[in-house]
Amino acid sequence: AQTVTQSQPEMSVQEAETVTLSCTYDTSESDYYLFWYKQPPSRQMILVIRQEAYKQQNATENRFSVNFQKAAKSFSLKISDSQLGDAAMYFCAYRSALNRDDKIIFGKGTRLHILP
């Protein structure tokens, strides 16, 4: 069974600085999708960025980028120029691209604090 591990329950970063959130996963599959979601205090789940395992190029979305290391099964999220609005819970998630009977598995989350 696939698992997703986020080893940092909480992190803090100074406004305008860069922070990296860690995520590792365990799977025997070769084709899958990885996601980072943001959950602000409003509780709404918002997709930040996605990565397809067959693509070697790391995904980027404005200030958000990932470091995808397939062999190491690592998928970290880098937030550049941190802003107060980035304060939220961040979840890493995994989804198989091969198995129709699939499910989306989430890690336990990392709470990110932005220090003014």
Partner 1 sequence: NAGVTQTPKFRVLKTGQSMTLLCAQDMNHEYMYWYRQDPGMGLRLIHYSVGEGTTAKGEVPDGYNVSRLKKQNFLLGLESAAPSQTSVYFCASSNRDRLTLNTEAFFGQGTRLTVV
Residues touching partner 1, count (CB under 8 A): 24
Residue 104 contacts partner 1 per CB under 8 A: yes
**Residue from 20, 22, 58, 105 in contact with partner 1 (CB under 8 A):** 105
State the pairing for strand pair 10-14/110-115: parallel
Tell me the β-bridge partners of 106. 93
> 73, 27 in Cβ contact below 8 A?
yes
Residue number, 107 or 112, with CB nearest to partner 1: 107
d(CA 49, CA 111): 17
Binding mask 28-67 vs partner 1 (x if CB under 8 A, - otherwise)?
-----x-x-------xxx-x--x-x---------------
Residue entry with tokens 């943001």: 38
Neighbours of 95 (CB within 10 A): 15
Binding footprint of partner 1 on the chain (CB under 8 A): 6, 9, 33, 35, 43-45, 47, 50, 52, 91, 93, 95, 97, 100-109
